[in-house]
């Protein structure tokens, strides 16, 4: 299969699940070695889960399929440019490449505007629209130090 075939599947999945009332118009597939190993579609409203974006759903399915938290050697095809959350998940999953169809500007034009989140990320904590306050620094650092010294930990 070609890259365009994988993207057509992501787009078809977005349309199919949107029409079935399963969520917004977003679909994604993850490919390894020329084979689709996982698919995902937006399930935010059907699962009552704001993190159930197509890319995240596909990443979770691919990790289950491979029994690994790393998707090195895999590519993701998504019907829309990933939002900040999905982009973070893509980096954490170590996907090799991202292909997308619609842009974030296309998404914003139909009511899926992530610009506020993109604008918030570089702001100092005290300037963000969601108040953030640090608590119990010493207690939390104790656990981090324990992790740092732990033999046999699985780094990720």
**Which residues are the active-site residues?**
55
**Alpha carbons 146 and 104: distance in angstroms, whole number:** 41
Residue 27 has φ and ψ, to the nearest 5°, of -140, 155
Edge-first strand order for the sheet with 27-32 is 35-41, 27-32, 74-80, 97-102
Of the candidates 80, 6, 85, which has an alpha carbon nearest to the alpha carbon of residue 39?
6
């Amino acid at each position: 299969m070609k890259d365009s075939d994988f993207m057509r599947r992501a787009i078809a999945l977005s349309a199919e699940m949107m029409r079935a009332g399963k969520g917004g118009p977003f679909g994604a597939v993850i490919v390894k070695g020329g084979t689709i190993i996982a698919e995902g579609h937006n399930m935010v409203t059907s699962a009552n889960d704001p993190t159930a974006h197509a890319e995240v759903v596909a990443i979770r399915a691919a990790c289950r399929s491979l029994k690994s938290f790393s998707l090195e050697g895999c590519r993701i095809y998504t019907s829309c440019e990933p939002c900040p959350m999905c982009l973070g998940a893509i980096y954490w999953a170590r996907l090799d490449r991202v292909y997308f169809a619609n842009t974030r500007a296309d998404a914003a034009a139909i009511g899926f505007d992530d610009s506020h989140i993109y604008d918030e990320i570089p702001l100092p904590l005290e300037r963000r629209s969601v108040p953030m306050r640090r608590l119990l620094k010493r207690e939390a650092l104790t656990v981090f130090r324990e992790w740092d010294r732990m033999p046999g930990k699985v780094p990720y």
